[in-house]
Amino acid sequence: MNVNKIFKLLASAALPVLMLAACGGGDLDDRLDVADPKVRFVHANPLGPSYTLYREGVAQVDVTGAGYKFAAPYFDVAEGAANWTVKTTTGSTDVATLPFDAKRGNLYTLVAVTGGLTGDVVLIDDPYNKRLTTSNARVRTLNASANAPNLDVYLTAPGADLAAATPNMAAVGYKAAVPASGGDSVEFNGGDYQLRVTPAGAKTVLFSAPVTLANNADWLLVSVPDSVVPNAIKLLVVKTDDATKTATELSSQ
């Protein structure tokens, strides 16, 4: 057993004390891998119909009739393997079925994206191996823009020279996430940043906007088409447990 696992076992025994003392508050049980698995659904298909999420054929009340920009907060699910199916709300047409084995402490995001007649669905498994004492923000990017190439994503100090910068998340392919499913999000200090997106390996800015990352923020950035014009994109920001159930849509500035 590795040192990190031993530390988590010891820490879980002291969970009541740690909940009062450690940074991160309500996500502590996820950090310790003792929380029930959690699932959420994000609608990131600007031209898509409304969707309903099913687990083993049972509609999930948290995700019924979800329209574009819907972003359900995480909800607890039972451990173990199950088939998760996304269907159109009208007509109940199958869009995609994604089987996965829900593990304690992990977070799972199903994202409806462009593709085909009714869209497609991408699964992201977040093991949430966040350190117990950190208050860093976490960010992951998903490319759901069929009209764009692979993307480089930069979060720099405001006004920083992009020519000298290295992408924080590089070569994000269509229907792919960086970091990839199964890996942890990239951590950042809380603060003000300039968010910029370019074609992979290039410095031509396709998108730019100022953003502020709060301590302990957890963001999924989703690139979506802004029009049918090639390289015209905008970004959705999906924040963990946002009670509004709506992703924030950013336009380039």
User: What does the pLDDT read at residue 59?
Assistant: 96
User: What does the pLDDT read at residue 160?
Assistant: 96
Among 93-97, 167-171, 239-243, the range scoring the smallest mean pLDDT is 239-243
Task: Return the higher-pLDDT residue of 33 and 107.
Answer: 107
User: What does the pLDDT read at residue 243?
Assistant: 83
Please list the residues that pair with 80 across neighbouring strands.
102
Secondary structure (DSSP) of 136-174: -EEEEEEE--TTS-SEEEEEESTT--GGG---SEEEE-B
User: What does the pLDDT read at residue 241?
Assistant: 73
Closest to 178 measured CA to CA, from 124, 119, 120: 124
How much is the mean pLDDT over the chain? 89
**Residue 88, pLDDT above cutoff 50:** yes
Domain boundaries, the chain: 36-250
User: What does the pLDDT read at residue 133?
Assistant: 84
**Residue 5, pLDDT above cutoff 60:** no
Supply the pTM of this predicted model. 0.88
CB 181 within 8 A of CB 173: no
C-alpha distances in Å from residue 73, one per residue of 22, 52, 63, 127, 230: 23, 15, 10, 17, 32
- At position 237, the amino acid (one-letter code) is V
Confidence of residue 251 (pLDDT cuts 50, 70, 90): confident
pLDDT tens digit sequence for 189-242: 999 999 999 999 999 999 999 999 999 999 999 999 999 999 999 999 999 877
Q: How many angstroms separate the CA atoms of 141 and 102, rounded?
A: 22
pLDDT tens digit sequence for 109-146: 999 999 888 999 999 999 999 988 899 999 999 999 99
Secondary structure (DSSP) of 20-39: HHSTTGGGHHHHTT-SPPEE
% of residues, the chain, pLDDT over 90: 77
CB 77 within 8 A of CB 104: no
